[in-house]
């Protein structure tokens, strides 16, 4: 099923949303550029989806990252860690701008790939592609087992969801196939996977090595499937995540079509995957709202303002 906005986009994609998306994009891009190492492509392409998820759907408490009934967010595409660290900073976790500036440095709290127990707010160590998705299936299964043991008609002690951001590379790995098949068989309806479908790998177009239909594959596994055609369409992303929450009988797979390295002025798409050094152009900076939507600011001076909850 394809999801698109059914209401006025400008009414939902307001100035605050685009200021937040701009902030996430610049924080992630600046961290990668400061380190002269990293992967800016995923953060720039998926910042709108990450913002919508974290601001409107994810249940969490930055003051208590270990709250037992928090939602779990798993960045299975661990190479996009700069986005996760930007999110943790903006939402008030104990990650400072200084930590972002030390991205990928020896001994820093912001390593190149997320590490569980090292950075507050990181739910599991990711990096080997497919591993995070498999971990998330285990988390969703654990939630179901705990709920069956602890909940009753009067009390819902265990009541959380698991959200995953996965890449083309994640879905190519065998471990993700096995885990996704199990999740569908068990009907883990509190699990949602957002597939960052940009058709680009570090070596070139994803279709050179993988041409299967990911949506059809997950449907065959028994998943509820959705598609969002524009990775910058905040209203459509919000609608898809809402539909995912409403379905409890099966896990949900959301195919999100994005532009890797959105706004980066490099000629080849695969260069946007890892090229750390670039300067946004005047005509299309990474914080620029798409045509027809409000853009609050394209200045990096708007970045770094922490959002308190």
pLDDT tens digits for 14-41?
789 999 999 999 999 999 988 887 888 8
Between the alpha carbon of residue 133 and those of residues 36, 129, 174, 239, the distances in Å are 28, 8, 11, 23
Q: What is the pLDDT of residue 275?
A: 57
**β-strands 204-205, 200-201 pairing:** antiparallel
Q: What is the pLDDT of residue 208?
A: 73
Q: Does domain 2-78+126-298 have CATH number 3.40.50.970?
A: yes
Kindly state the average pLDDT of the residues 118-122.
Answer: 97
Longest dimension (CA), the chain: 59
The C-alpha torsion from 286 through 292 and 294 to 300, rounded to 10°, is: 10
Q: What is the pLDDT of residue 264?
A: 76
Stronger pLDDT, 283 or 123, i.e. the higher one: 123
Classify each residue of 191-224 as buried b or exposed e, where b means 16 or more C-beta atoms within 10 Å of its C-beta.
Answer: bbbbbbbbbbbeeeebeeeeeeebbebbeebbbb
Q: What is the pLDDT of residue 286?
A: 47
Stronger pLDDT, 171 or 269, i.e. the higher one: 171
Extended strands (E) in 98-190:
162-166
Of the candidates 59, 54, 51, 62, the residue with the CA atom closest to the CA atom of residue 14: 51
Answer whether residue 293 shows pLDDT above 80.
Answer: no
Q: What is the pLDDT of residue 278?
A: 54
Average pLDDT along the chain: 86
Q: What is the pLDDT of residue 308?
A: 36
Residue 20 has a CB neighbour count (10 Å cut-off) of 23
Share of the chain above pLDDT 70, in %: 80
Answer whether residue 281 shows pLDDT above 50.
Answer: no
Kindly state the average pLDDT of the residues 92-121.
Answer: 96
Q: How many CA atoms lie within 13 A of 146 on its CB side?
A: 14
3-state secondary structure of 24: helix
């Amino acid at each position: 099923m394809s999801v698109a906005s059914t209401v006025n986009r400008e009414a939902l994609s307001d100035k605050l949303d685009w200021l937040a998306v701009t902030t996430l994009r610049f924080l992630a891009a600046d961290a990668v550029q400061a380190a002269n190492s990293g992967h800016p492509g995923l953060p720039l392409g998926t910042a709108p989806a990450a913002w919508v998820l974290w601001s409107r759907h994810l249940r969490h408490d930055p003051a208590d990252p270990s709250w037992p009934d928090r939602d779990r967010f798993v960045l299975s595409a661990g190479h996009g860690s700069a986005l996760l660290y930007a999110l943790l900073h903006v939402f008030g976790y104990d990650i400072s701008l200084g930590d972002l500036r030390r991205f990928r440095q020896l001994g820093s709290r912001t390593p190149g790939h997320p590490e569980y127990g090292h950075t507050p707010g990181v739910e599991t160590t990711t990096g080997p592609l497919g591993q995070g998705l498999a971990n998330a299936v285990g988390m969703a299964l654990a939630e179901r087992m705990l709920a069956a043991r602890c909940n009753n008609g009067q009390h819902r002690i265990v009541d959380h969801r698991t959200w995953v951001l996965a890449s083309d590379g994640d879905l190519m790995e065998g471990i993700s196939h096995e885990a996704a098949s199990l999740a569908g068989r068990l009907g883990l309806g509190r699990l949602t996977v957002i597939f960052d479908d940009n058709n680009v790998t570090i070596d070139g177009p994803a279709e050179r090595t993988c041409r299967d239909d990911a949506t059809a594959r997950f449907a065959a596994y028994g998943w509820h499937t959705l598609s969002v055609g524009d990775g910058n369409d905040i209203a459509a992303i919000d609608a898809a995540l809402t539909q995912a929450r409403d379905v409890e009988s099966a896990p949900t797979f959301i195919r999100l079509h994005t532009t890797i390295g959105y706004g980066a002025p490099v000629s080849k798409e695969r260069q946007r995957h890892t090229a750390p050094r670039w300067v946004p152009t005047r005509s299309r900076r990474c914080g620029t709202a798409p045509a027809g939507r409000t853009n609050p600011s394209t200045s990096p001076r708007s970045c770094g303002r922490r959002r308190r909850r």
